[in-house]
Chain A
Amino acid sequence: QSALTQPASVSGSPGQSITISCTGTSSDVGFSRFVSWYQQYSGKAPRLVIFEVNKRPSGVSNRFSGSKSGNTASLTISGLQADDEATYYCYSCAHSNNLVFGGGTKLTVL
């Protein structure tokens, strides 16, 4: 049950696009099409922003998109805005009903 690997931090200027990677193994990210992403502001509960690799829940901006290739999933945020500044976590269902999160990526909007 090792955590999925994410970069510790990324940054971008308003209006730019950034991509956060999430690398797992053939037992989790590579095994599952059920990768999702969560946004968490400091001191708040996480919020689902992408599910099933590339689907957006109702109410989530279309500036958020997801993709997956092999054992690596990615979250892209386009047209960066100040309130995108948060920590983002990937998550996958793995074998034997274990669930696993990435270590989290802190996004700074410059």
Chain B
Amino acid sequence: EVQLVESGGGLVQPGGSLRLSCAASGFSASVHYMTWVRQAPGKGLEWVSLMYDDGSAGSAYYADSVKGRFTISRDNSKNMLHLQMSSLRVEDTAVYYCARVAINWPLDLWGQGTLVTVSS
């Protein structure tokens, strides 16, 4: 089955760190750009980060709201995508989705999401 499965969410204190993972199955993620999108409780979708297929230095892009705090990476040998989040803030509380970027940019496959709660 073609799917994305996120993991790693949980409760963390402000200023803390968390690493999210996204496991791809049923297809080779190495030929796709991949992205993270988040959704705060009761709010809309917000793009977080994008990484090109090769995962090379310089192929990562970030929303201004997370730049300098979040780092996207991928391990194509394991069909995995990661998001290292540090200096977390209360406003980072959200469900985090990973998604596959198809040709010409639509997000054609989404995971079920993982909830990150930043609270003291």
Interface residues of A (CB under 8 A from B): 1, 3, 32-34, 36, 38, 40, 45-48, 51-52, 57, 87, 89, 91, 93, 96-104
Contact = CB atoms under 8 A, between A and B. Distances in A.
B70 interface: no
Given A45-B97, A89-B45, A97-B61, 4 more contacts: A93-B105, A98-B63, A101-B37, A104-B44
Nearest to B6: A45
23 contacts: A1-B63, A3-B44, A32-B105, A33-B104, A36-B105, A38-B107, A45-B97, A46-B97, A48-B108, A51-B106, A52-B106, A57-B106, A87-B44, A89-B45, A91-B45, A91-B106, A93-B105, A96-B61, A97-B61, A99-B35, A99-B47, A102-B44, A103-B44
Interface stretch (B9-17, B24-32, B72-80, B110-118): B110-118
Contacts of A103: 44
Interface of B: 35, 37, 44-47, 50, 61, 63-64, 97, 102, 104-108, 110-113
Residue among B45, B102, B110 facing the most chain A CB atoms (10 A cut-off): B45
Residue among B47, B50, B61, B105 facing the most chain A CB atoms (10 A cut-off): B105
Contacts of B111: 45
Contacts of B110: 45-47
